[in-house]
Structure 1
Amino acid sequence: MHDISILSIIFTAALALICLFLIVAPFFKWDTFIQLSSKDQDIAATKEALLTTLNEIEFEYKMDKISHADYKNLKRQYEIEVAKIMKEEDQFVDTSVDKDLMAEVEKEIEEQMKNYAKKKGEGK
């Protein structure tokens, strides 16, 4: 009878640990492949804020709340800022993309296009 109580304690402890793991596991990120750095998130947030501001400026201009000169100046300023951010994003994408992988993908696309052209030519 003493053996049954020790076995039940071990089983209960194991069950409790499994339940604890299942409860706590969603709070941790297990996928390390898809992680955005805080800089990337800041750039995306800034870009979104600038684009929202551009929309608001256009809306205010259409509602005749700001003059045409002010609208053009503000729009130009914000468009320049958005362009700078887009260049930063492009540089990040260019450096993060594996060149060999892109070459392989382009090669596969060309092969598929050739196969499609052959099949289309045979169907005529």
Structure 2
Amino acid sequence: MHDISIISIILTALLALACLFLILSPYFKWDTYLNVGVKGQDLVSTKEALLITLNELEFEYKMDKISHADYKNLKKQYEAEVAGIMKEEELTIAARVDRDLMAEVEKEIEAQMKNYEQKRGKESD
């Protein structure tokens, strides 16, 4: 009988912890912990959102919904963010191109080395 009460206490505690987890999990941003290499996609979507926001900002300014000072400040802020994202995208592309270029150069060097070794082998025969 003593064994059944310990097992029931453990099962009850596990059930309570599972319920607590399910209740509290929406309050945590799990995607930041589980984010595995979608940064490039994130940059593109962020840039698109900022460009849409800039477009809407200009529309609201032309409709006289916001003041000229607010328009200038917000436009400057959003343009700076877009420029930063574009610069980061450019660096990512440049790094990828550099990696690809180095791989091609290494393949060409290996081919030249094999060719040289084959010529050297024929000369020694």
TM-score by length of 1: 0.50
Q: Which residue of 2 aligns with 1:61?
A: 61
Q: Secondary structure at the match of 1:66?
A: coil
How many aligned residue pairs are there?
67
Any idea what the Cα deviations from partners look like across 1:57-83, whole Å, max 9, x if unmatched? 000000000011100000000000000
TM-aligned CA deviation for residue 46 of structure 1? 0.4
Letter in 2 for 1:80: A
Aligned-residue Cα RMSD (Å) equals: 2.0
The aligned counterpart of 2:85 is 85
Q: 1:85 to 1:102 in 2, by over 3 A?
A: farther
Which position in structure 1 is the counterpart of 2:71?
71
Moved over 6 A (4+): none
1:64 to 1:101, Cα distance in 2 relative to 1, 3 A: farther
Partner of 2:42: 42
Aligned pairs (5 A) from 1:89-100: 89-97=89-97, 98-99=100-101
Max Rg structure: 2
Unmatched 5+ residue regions in structure 1?
A: 1-36, 104-124
User: Any residues of structure 2 matched to 1:101-112 within 5 Å, and which?
Assistant: none
Bigger proportion of residues as helix: 2
Aligned equivalents of 2:63, 2:104: Cα separation in 1: 47
State the 1:99 CA deviation.
Answer: 2.9
Q: Which runs of 5+ in 2 are unaligned?
A: 1-36, 106-125
